């Protein structure tokens, strides 16, 4: 019986050998085990200065966990938008976005390459400052702590199509009562250069 059990264990271990893992399993494993990729950090580090850095800002504050998407519209899923004449979302990019954003991920401050100081704000920090209310007094408390910033930024994981020529990304910010923005972007890579193909969702507050 012991020998039979050992044989079963050996067969199980062999089934886990690299050559026996399916493509889909490898993909899920790479997403779930690897964390936020260098390619994602490169995109964050390119887009954040374009969108959020202004001459009077000396500090960028980013929420330390990824943020799936929130456009205040129930069941809104821009990565599932139907194809249009000017833009068509690759199905593999949509699936990858959903997979990567099925849970929150911790970001790594050292992986960002920004031209100014960077600080993270945690969920505990937000609760301690705002207590679930985003009023003027709470924002005064926030800016006492992060006086050189203009609010804080939220980022999703980035979903890629198989060829990595398309990317889907949510970026948002809060900067005061009625101040902030929401953006869901479709990026396209042509000849090694990645640009914003389409702002699938965009809303500015204040």
pTM of the predicted structure, to 2 decimals: 0.79
Q: 180 and 52 in contact (C-beta within 8 Å)?
A: no
| Residues 70, 201: Cα–Cα separation, whole Å | 11
Beta bridge partners of 166: 188
CA–CA distances in Å: residue 185 to residues 79, 83, 93, 123, 151: 9, 15, 12, 25, 21
Confidence of residue 83 (pLDDT cuts 50, 70, 90): low
Q: Is the pLDDT reported for residue 14 higher than 60?
A: no
H helices of the chain, in order, are: 2-15, 23-34, 38-52, 91-100, 123-130, 136-145
Residue-averaged pLDDT of the chain: 83
CA–CA distances in Å: residue 195 to residues 6, 121, 191: 54, 28, 11
């Amino acid at each position: 019986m012991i020998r039979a059990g050992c044989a079963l264990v050996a067969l199980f271990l062999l089934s886990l050998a690299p050559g026996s893992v399916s493509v889909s399993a490898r993909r899920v494993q790479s997403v779930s085990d690897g964390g936020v990729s260098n390619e994602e950090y490169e995109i964050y580090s390119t887009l954040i200065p374009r969108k959020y850095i202004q001459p009077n800002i000396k500090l960028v504050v980013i929420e330390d966990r990824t943020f799936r998407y929130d456009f205040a519209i129930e069941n809104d899923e821009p990565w599932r938008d139907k194809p249009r004449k000017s833009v068509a979302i690759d199905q593999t990019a949509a699936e990858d976005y959903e997979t990567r954003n099925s849970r929150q991920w911790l970001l790594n401050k050292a992986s960002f390459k920004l031209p100014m100081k960077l600080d993270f704000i945690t969920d505990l920090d937000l609760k301690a400052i705002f207590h679930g209310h985003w009023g003027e007094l709470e924002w005064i408390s926030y800016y006492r702590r992060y006086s050189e910033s203009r609010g804080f930024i939220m980022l999703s994981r980035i979903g890629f199509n198989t060829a990595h020529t398309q990317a889907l990304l949510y970026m948002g910010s809060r900067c005061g009562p009625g101040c902030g923005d929401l953006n869901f972007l479709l990026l396209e890579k042509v000849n090694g250069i990645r640009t914003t193909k389409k702002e699938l969702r965009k809303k500015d507050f204040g």
